[in-house]
Structure 1
Amino acid sequence: MWLSDKSCTETVEVVWASQDRLNPQTRVVRKIEQCGREMKGWSRKHFGNVRRELYLKRRQLGEAKSEAQLCDNNSRVRALKEEINDLMDKETRMWLQRSKTLWASHGVIDSKYFHNKATQRYRKNSITNIRSSVGRWCSNYEEVAETLVNY
């Protein structure tokens, strides 16, 4: 999803082009960390919460349609429709990536189906409870982590 935005590549290139006086091994680690921080900020700025933005744009579109009927000017309506289409495209790519279905590009896209697949995968990959070596069930994060480390 990020790669669809040209400024993503530019952000990464700026981080990797920066010069510092560390040894090569430390430099790579620092650049990876810095790149992660920059990309997190970049994502908030350029993508934000796609679903919330889509909801807000749809509300604005309703208001703009009402104004367009009174003023006879559709330029704002067209601009909002374009923004909504871009946001829907981003949302679709996000759910396709989360569902990890490679064959999705060959079939009909049903967003409810992909949402369910992504949610199912998240639940399947989550460890909420685990039985320790003494047979006791651990459910809070620290106990689960300690049980895994001790194993």
Structure 2
Amino acid sequence: MDLMSSVLVKVGHCQEQLSMWNKKVFGNVRWKLTKVRKQLEKAEARSMAGGGNDRLAVLNEELQKLTTLEERVWSQRSKSYWLIYGDQNTKYFHCRASERNKRNYISSIEKAAGVWTEEES
């Protein structure tokens, strides 16, 4: 087996291991969130009918953890998106920054008396 084949085999093995790790640690966060939300609705209905609140607290805590995890996943994905397209492609990055500047630009302000002003100070 030559050196390149050996590297490809090792990369393939690494990919398999990372996929298994991802499923064990993260799983399908969106599916878990949907499941916990449904369980939470049922627990809230039982609680309102006079049932215990123990399960409700546990589900709320689990929902909070999953929501935080989902936010992290999307944050990491957005950063990788910007690493791929933003930093390497300056034309793309400049276009996105210009769009954001246009969207955030304030052209006029309403003063207390209800008068609109467009002057810069």
- State TM-score, norm by structure 1: 0.44
- Give the aligned partner of residue 80 of structure 1: 59
For residues 61 and 68 of structure 1, the distance between their equivalents in structure 2, rounded to whole angstroms, comes to 10
Give the paired residue count: 84
Q: After superposing the two structures, state which structure 1 stretch, 56-65 or 42-51, moved more.
A: 42-51
SS, match of residue 100 in structure 1: helix
User: 1:1-151 to 2 correspondence within 5 Å?
Assistant: 30-100=9-79
Moved over 6 A (4+): 24-28
Runs (5+) with no aligned partner, structure 2: 90-121
Q: If you compute each CA radius of gyration, which structure gives the higher value, 1 or 2?
A: 2
Task: Show CA shifts across 1:85-108 (max 9, x none).
Answer: 11111111111112218xxxxxxx
Percent sequence identity is 35
Offset of residue 26 of structure 1: 7.2
Letter in 2 for 1:96: S
Offset of residue 38 of structure 1: 1.8
Offset of residue 55 of structure 1: 1.7
Runs (5+) with no aligned partner, structure 1: 1-21, 102-116, 126-151
For residues 29 and 12 of structure 2, the distance between their equivalents in structure 1, rounded to whole angstroms, comes to 25
Offset of residue 69 of structure 1: 2.8
Offset of residue 28 of structure 1: 6.4
For residues 60 and 7 of structure 2, the distance between their equivalents in structure 1, rounded to whole angstroms, comes to 43
